[in-house]
């Protein structure tokens, strides 16, 4: 898989208002994309991404967000995450938001209470991801152990295997 190449990945560390640090992994765009018939697809001419849309450019202005910054207004995804947080006074945060589903980005101003609830939502999401990772890791280790035990019982492991 091309995305496994570390050069195709962008890792960004973000410090949340609570002081927690998260790492966001973004996969670079693929250069050669093909349709189902195997025909190479070329990117559309002009600027790439949602900024080329005038409606999206207007969304880049700091907009006061009153609730649920984790919800994308364009596609209703609940996976919107912060790309950058900056203090905008004593009671507000300026946040760059990105939706991984539709690639929409916007700058938003969050009141302190909205920023804190967003931070809590991000924490819940991180806990969900960590739980899923733990379950997948355990399932993979269990399968690996079962294959190893089966190989031992079949006397298929030799000293030269180590």
User: Which DSSP state fits 60?
Assistant: T
Kindly give, in sequence order, each residue whose CB lies less than 8 Å from that of residue 7, ignoring residues fewer than 6 positions away. 28
What does pTM read for this prediction? Answer: 0.53
60 within 8 A of 107, measured Cβ to Cβ: yes
**Who wins on pLDDT, 39 or 143?**
143
Could you tell me the two tokens for 56?
């999206």
The 10s digit of each residue's pLDDT in 70-126 is: 999 889 889 999 999 888 888 888 999 999 989 999 999 998 889 889 999 999 999
């Amino acid at each position: 898989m091309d995305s496994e190449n570390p050069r195709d990945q962008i890792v960004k560390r973000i410090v949340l208002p609570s002081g927690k640090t998260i790492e966001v992994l973004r996969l670079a765009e693929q250069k050669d994309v093909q349709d189902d018939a195997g025909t190479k697809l070329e990117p559309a001419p002009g600027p790439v991404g949602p900024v080329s849309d005038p409606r999206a450019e207007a969304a880049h202005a700091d907009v006061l967000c009153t609730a649920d910054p984790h919800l994308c207004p364009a596609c209703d995804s609940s996976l919107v995450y912060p790309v950058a947080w900056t203090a905008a006074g004593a009671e507000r945060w300026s946040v760059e938001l990105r939706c991984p589903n539709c690639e929409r980005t916007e700058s938003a101003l969050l009141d302190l209470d909205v920023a804190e609830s967003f931070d809590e939502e991000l924490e819940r999401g991180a806990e969900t991801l960590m739980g899923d990772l733990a379950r997948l890791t355990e399932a993979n280790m269990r399968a690996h152990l079962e294959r190893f035990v089966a190989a031992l019982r079949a006397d298929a492991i030799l000293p030269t295997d180590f």
